[in-house]
């Protein structure tokens, strides 16, 4: 995303893969809402699937609600992941939280 308001980067210590989450935020009725979100994932198919579903889950949510999205909710939304691939879903949850954190720091 070229005009992102913030970018969050997260990696997996388990496999060395990493990703970026890009967010665009709009203010509506006094709340900050994720207006657009995208990702770049340098990881496995499970990480890409997790990133895709998590960004769909976060779009349109307030920052407060989006940062509460857990790896468990992401895995459930995918219909499950094999146990050795659970860590792949953590990256996007962390990346989203980091993007929101970066956005808030830029706004200070």
Contacts of 102 (CB under 8 A, 6+ apart): 6, 7, 8
Whether 15 sits among the annotated catalytic residues: the reply is: yes
* DSSP code, position 68: T
Write the binding mask 51 to 90 for ligand FES: x where contact by CB under 6 A, - elsewhere: ----------------------------------x--x--
Instruction: Confirm or reject binding of residue 46 to ligand FES (CB under 6 A).
Output: yes
Compute the distance between CA of residue 85 and CA of residue 68 in angstroms, rounded to an integer. Answer: 21
- Pick the piece of the chain touching ligand FES (CB under 6 A) from 27-35, 42-50, 53-61, 63-71: 42-50
């Amino acid at each position: 995303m070229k005009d992102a308001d913030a970018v969050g980067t997260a990696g997996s210590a388990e496999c060395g893969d990493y990703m970026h989450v890009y967010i665009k935020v709009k203010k509506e009725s006094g709340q900050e809402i994720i207006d657009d979100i995208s990702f770049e994932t340098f990881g496995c198919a499970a990480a890409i699937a997790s990133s895709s579903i998590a960004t769909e889950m976060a779009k349109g949510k307030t920052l407060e609600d989006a940062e509460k999205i857990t790896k468990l909710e992401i895995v459930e939304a995918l219909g499950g992941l094999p146990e050795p691939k659970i860590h792949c879903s953590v990256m996007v949850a962390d990346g989203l939280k980091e993007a929101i954190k970066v956005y808030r720091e830029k706004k200070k």
